[in-house]
Amino acid sequence: MSLRAAFGEIDITPPMGTQLAGWLDLARPAETVRDPVYARMALLECRGQRIAVVSLDLLSIRGSDVVDLRARIQAVAAVSPSHTMVAATHNHAGPAIISIGPYRREDAYLEWLKDAIADMAANAAARLEPAEIGIGSAFEARYCHNRRWVTRDGGTITQPGVANPDVLYCEGPADTELGVVCVRAVSGKLLGYVANWTCHPVHPYDMKTVTASWPGALASAIREREDVPCVVLNGAFGNVHTANWVDPSYVDDPDTVGRALADALPTTAAGLTFQRDVTLSAGSELLELPLRHIPEEELAWARAIVAGETAAAPEGSQRYGRDETYAESVLLVAERKRARDFSRAEVQALRIGDVALVGLPGEVFVETGLRVKVAAPFRRTFVVGAANGMVGYAPPPDSYARGGYECTTAMWSKVAPEAADMMADAGIRLSRALAG
């Protein structure tokens, strides 16, 4: 049987008053909606295999909630749990479905969300129709910038400000590839896109505003232009940002980014080759990522701060948030480490014809994502960050040595320096197995 496909799209904007997740230290009950947040999915079936790709305009999702969602999607849409990917776009202005730092999970909202996603999946399964896919990529390099800058003394500052005299050079690359799976009915009617680009989706609006940042702006530009859903998957976005630390005239505006991505997205007009018979397959590995070593001086600092004393911050640390928030978080990591010295992480690869989607459950750096893209045997590999869970930042070893925000110990930076490569290696192994 050749390919069948359907898309789903539902508005998941929370009621006002719902806690928003994304910035540390801020109580953020939603007060206004700038643009709605969505859940979207692509459902594909070929030769008896089904694959579901779900994208949420949220910060992250717990692995245990992904397990639950997969079971519900299996019940209503007959997709095997191993063949469903649930990824967050890492949006910093959506409802909190995780508890971290100062904000708590909105449990009632989360239950509602799961029901809504199951309904979306049931609805998509009922609308599967004969289809064909085209795979392509373009580049959009103007709006994603590596936010870590190496200082004159060899450390790193995250988001150093424009023309900071202490910095010497940008630590690493950006991944400017804009990947696409374009899906149309055999009649020629466009059904939707799965798009993949790599950048932190933050925003310049009021902290109590609901918005979906650049992924939402991309999807809404596509909706306006072609009236179809665009399932947006973020990449290895851990160290890249829409702001620019070189050009003082640069304006950080998510709508501009979204429109530019929509303009760059390869469409049916871009000469994509369409296929009706494609291999759909999946694999995953469950890893135990070691937790990082916490030096005695850092523990002493955390204990002092929690006790209300003053203490000098550990060298190389960079915090966005109150010392108390970080100190409590450092002690939580230490406690977790005593109880169980690893964090579970599922790495997943989905094959859709000539492309592999490699899902990594963390804030992985561009360097790690690019390593997967280079080593994977597919013509195109799209790395998906914040997929199927969240272990927090997973910087490569060199970056840990330099410090900076992403490398400063907290519950959102708790895995050891080898974790990033462990995830990348698993992604490479899985994609090789799927290509074989």
Positions that interact with Zn ion (CB under 5 A): 363
Closer residue to Zn ion, CB minimum distance, 22 or 314: 22
| Nearest approach, Cβ of residue 392 and Zn ion (Å) | 9
Q: Coil, strand or helix: which one is 259? A: helix
Shortest distance, CB of residue 57 to Zn ion, whole angstroms?
14
Minimum gap (Å) between residue 200 Cβ and Zn ion:
6
End-to-end Cα separation, the chain, in angstroms: 22
The answer to whether 140 and 214 are in contact (CB under 8 A) is no
CB of 159 to Zn ion, least distance (A): 12
φ/ψ bin of 192: left (φ > 0), alpha (ψ from -120 to 50), beta (otherwise): left
CA 195 to CA 183: how far, in whole Å?
11
Give the C-alpha separation, 168 to 157, whole Å.
Answer: 10
Residue placing its CB nearer to Zn ion in the complex, 176 or 239: 239
When CB distances to Zn ion are compared, the closest residue is 363
The DSSP call for residue 295 is: -
What are the residues whose beta carbons fall under 8 Å from the beta carbon of 436, sequence distance 6 or more?
none
Query: Phi and psi for 288 in degrees, rounded to 5?
Result: -110, 100
Q: Which residue, 346 or 363, has its beta carbon nearer to Zn ion? A: 363
Nearer to Zn ion, 201 or 427 (CB): 201
Contact 259, 300 (CB under 8 A): no
Nearest distance from residue 60's CB to Zn ion, in Å? 9
Beta carbon of residue 172, minimum distance to Zn ion (angstroms, whole number): 16
> Shortest Cβ distance from residue 186 to Zn ion (Å)?
40
Residue closer to Zn ion, measured from CB, 45 or 57: 57
Name the 3-class secondary structure at 391: coil
**301 or 393, CB closer to Zn ion?**
393
Contact 131, 183 (CB under 8 A): yes
Angle at which helices 323-339 and 296-306 cross, to 10°:
120
Q: Nearest CA to 33 among 50, 16, 55?
A: 16
- The smaller minimum CB distance to Zn ion, of residues 181 and 410, is found at 410
